[in-house]
Amino acid sequence: MTGTAPSVDAGARLSGVGVGRGGVVGPVVQVRPAPVVPADTPVLVDGAPADGPATHAVLDAAFATVAASLQEQAGRAEGSLAEVLTATAQMAADPALRSQVLARVDGGEPPVSAIDGVVSTFVTMFEQAGGYLAERVTDLRSVRDRLVAAALGLPAPGVPELRVPSVVVARDLAPADTAALDLANVLAIVTELGGPTGHTAIIAGQLGIPCIVRVAGATDLPEGGEVAVDAAANVVTVAPDEALRAELVERAQAERALASDTAAGATADGHPVALLANIGTAEDAERVAGTAVEGVGLFRTEVLFLERATAPSVEDQAATYTRALAALGGRKVVVRTLDAGADKPLAFATAADEENPALGVRGYRLVRTHPELITTQLAALAAAQEATGVAPWVMAPMIATAAEARDFAQAAHAVGVKTVGVMVEIPAAALRAEQILAEVDFVSLGTNDLAQYTMATDRLRGELADLLSAWQPAVIELVASTARAGKATGKPVGVCGESASDPLMALVLVGLGITSLSMAAGAVPAVRYAVRHHTLDTCQQMADAALAAGSAEAARSAVVALADPQVRAALGW
């Protein structure tokens, strides 16, 4: 639990961790909670408690129904949402989960007790594993809730029908719940749990929906009561007054005005900074093609793999890559090879006995156990390059050494990929960035994982969000080290983590020597505005101030003090 709920009287301010910069006012709609029933509640058949075989059959059908429903939602979703829904459906269809529950029921244990016991075991395993598996705990509990409801004939938990534009409030919001949202009527999302890099936050950012997580007392907000959600200020205000309403309207108008600027990214004195978009599917590529971005700085390719029981063929992958490259019309596209492994549920490449998947065989390390996954993907990218005449930039995730970078570059060049790079997500790679850049053409910093590994802090732990901040001086120092290596070798160093979408942090990154910033397409206008209103010299002063600070809060405050007053006012710093 999140502790004692704050007052929900008019004017009360509930604090959390904001995602994005949006601000809206609207009525609260609370997500239906999970069914709360005694552990010994029986399955009913024709109004009477079912016997053992009948209970087994009902539960077996419940597993199939929940998995099929989730997969159907995944089929209607796109991008990151489709990815996580597919993975959640795989959880519901997992033979181990199903067989253990049914074995308990066949042994005489009540069905709800059996489901809770097995899910609790899996939750403990996931939490102990940390990393990506820990982030799946919310999804696993969502599967539990849906199974209990399906088995007992109760309404499925989740979001009710949204009849008017509303603020969706929940203790936590699973991807399956997000998929059920009528996006035309979702003004904002507010949750009591979660973290700024968890699934709810990522999906909200992808969809351009204002979101605040870790809001203590959110579930006590009255149904239908109006609240103001200010993601930039990290605050939910109950029954906002006219002054706050007017402020949010004015800010929204200013944001729309920023979006009208389509100039290439550059500082006030003309220093170029490429502004790029993050995508996850070919559909995403087609969607951002019509926006004012200079290309794609991160094409996550996991969806192609997570949706399948077996690895996709060269032909299947090439078709998707070809479609994405064609959609961008020759603009830069940076493709990240498969970032999955033991810490992500791949049916064909998951090591069941790995004790700590977050530190295990993931990303490029899959070449140690499943080299064909990498070689097949590289061949597909080379085929897409030949089919379109557009040469993608291709990079590998989770590179730790210069030797790994060299091996990947050799494999990519061998099939005809022309521009090869790697991700810098591990402190070791940042510290040895110059040696790594000697082997490849560019690097891109994934600041979410870099912060996680630098600060030894699980990304799911919302109560540790301050340690995960990109403003932590230690994280900034590693970014600076990588940028210095780029300058020394004359090679590009980009950032494609969440920090690139923060207009204030973007100025620091430019000052450090970062050459490109990749983010959700909706974040580009504010970043472009901030960069275009500061000189390179000012950005460098900001970078020096952030590096000299003793804490994340001091670093941000020092940079705000150096910002142009007009920009501070426009962006709410």
User: Which of helix, strand or coil describes residue 169?
Assistant: strand
Q: Is the pLDDT of residue 132 over 80?
A: no
Higher-confidence position of 32 and 271? 271
The predicted-structure confidence for 504-538, as pLDDT tens digits, reads as follows 999 999 999 999 999 988 889 999 999 999 999 99
**Range from 168-177, 325-334, 348-357 carrying the lowest mean pLDDT:** 348-357
Residue range 220-226: mean pLDDT, rounded = 94
Give me the catalytic one of 56, 199, 533, 534: 199
CA distances from 300 to 75, 130, 259, 478 (A): 18, 21, 25, 23
Q: Is the pLDDT of residue 108 over 70?
A: yes
Read off the tokens for 385: 């390059």
Picking from 115, 117, 86, the residue whose alpha carbon sits closest to that of residue 199 is 86
How far apart, in whole angstroms, are the C-alpha atoms of residue 459 and residue 133?
A: 11
> Mean pLDDT, the chain, as a whole number?
89
**Range from 8-12, 110-114, 159-163, 306-310 carrying the lowest mean pLDDT:** 306-310
Higher-confidence position of 206 and 105? 105
CA angle (364, 344, 346) in 5-degree steps? 90
Q: Are 173 and 189 in contact (CB under 8 A)?
A: yes
Residue % of the chain over a pLDDT of 90: 62
Residue range 447-475: mean pLDDT, rounded = 86
CA distances from 92 to 41, 180, 346 (A): 21, 17, 14
**Whole-number pLDDT of residue 271:** 98
How far apart, in whole angstroms, are the C-alpha atoms of residue 560 and residue 563?
A: 5
How far apart, in whole angstroms, are the C-alpha atoms of residue 530 and residue 550?
A: 25
Picking from 377, 395, 178, the residue whose alpha carbon sits closest to that of residue 276 is 395
The predicted-structure confidence for 167-191, as pLDDT tens digits, reads as follows 999 998 876 677 667 788 999 999 9
Q: Is the pLDDT of residue 2 over 50?
A: no
Residue range 204-211: mean pLDDT, rounded = 81
Higher-confidence position of 91 and 532? 532
Give me the catalytic one of 56, 211, 370, 496: 496
DSSP annotation of 416 reads T
The predicted-structure confidence for 450-462, as pLDDT tens digits, reads as follows 999 999 987 666 6
Residue range 263-284: mean pLDDT, rounded = 94
Q: Is the pLDDT of residue 464 over 50?
A: yes
Alpha helices in 171-241 (DSSP H): 175-179, 199-207
Query: What are the chain's domains?
Result: 13-31+159-255 (3.50.30.10), 49-152 (1.10.274.10), 261-571 (3.20.20.60)
Residue range 351-357: mean pLDDT, rounded = 68
Residue range 548-552: mean pLDDT, rounded = 96
User: Which of helix, strand or coil describes residue 421?
Assistant: strand
Higher-confidence position of 273 and 130? 273
**Whole-number pLDDT of residue 217:** 93
Burial class for 483, CB neighbours closer than 10 Å (0-12, 13-18, 19+): buried
Task: Answer yes or no: 199 catalytic.
Answer: yes
**Whole-number pLDDT of residue 20:** 77
How far apart, in whole angstroms, are the C-alpha atoms of residue 86 and residue 166?
A: 27
Element (H, E) at 300: strand 295-300
**Range from 8-22, 259-273, 334-348, 397-411 carrying the lowest mean pLDDT:** 334-348
Q: Are 227 and 240 in contact (CB under 8 A)?
A: yes
**Whole-number pLDDT of residue 1:** 36
How far apart, in whole angstroms, are the C-alpha atoms of residue 402 and residue 407?
A: 9
Higher-confidence position of 4 and 189? 189
Read off the tokens for 559: 């940079």
How far apart, in whole angstroms, are the C-alpha atoms of residue 390 and residue 548?
A: 43
The predicted-structure confidence for 555-571, as pLDDT tens digits, reads as follows 999 999 999 999 998 88
User: Which of helix, strand or coil describes residue 135?
Assistant: helix
Ranges 70-74, 202-206, 425-429, most confident? 425-429
CA angle (280, 284, 290) in 5-degree steps? 145
CA angle (331, 332, 333) in 5-degree steps? 115
**Whole-number pLDDT of residue 318:** 97
Query: How many CB atoms sit inside 10 A of residue 172's CB?
Result: 20
Higher-confidence position of 297 and 573? 297
pLDDT category of residue 4 using cuts at 50, 70 and 90: very low
Q: Is the pLDDT of residue 81 over 50?
A: yes
DSSP one-letter string for 42-95: PPEETTEE--HHHHHHHHHHHHHHHHHHHHHHHHH--HHHHHHHHHHHHHHT-H
CA distances from 567 to 77, 156, 265, 543 (A): 36, 47, 16, 17
**Whole-number pLDDT of residue 351:** 63
Q: Which residues contact 250 (CB under 8 A, 6 or more apart)?
A: none
> What is the pairing mode between strands 13-15 and 17-19?
unpaired
Q: Is the pLDDT of residue 8 over 80?
A: no
Task: Answer yes or no: 496 catalytic.
Answer: yes
**Whole-number pLDDT of residue 79:** 64
Q: Which residue has the tokens 């590096």?
A: 547
**Whole-number pLDDT of residue 135:** 64
**Range from 391-395, 429-433, 460-464, 540-544 carrying the lowest mean pLDDT:** 460-464
Q: Is the pLDDT of residue 390 over 80?
A: yes
Element (H, E) at 487: helix 473-489
The predicted-structure confidence for 393-406, as pLDDT tens digits, reads as follows 999 999 999 999 99
**Whole-number pLDDT of residue 295:** 97
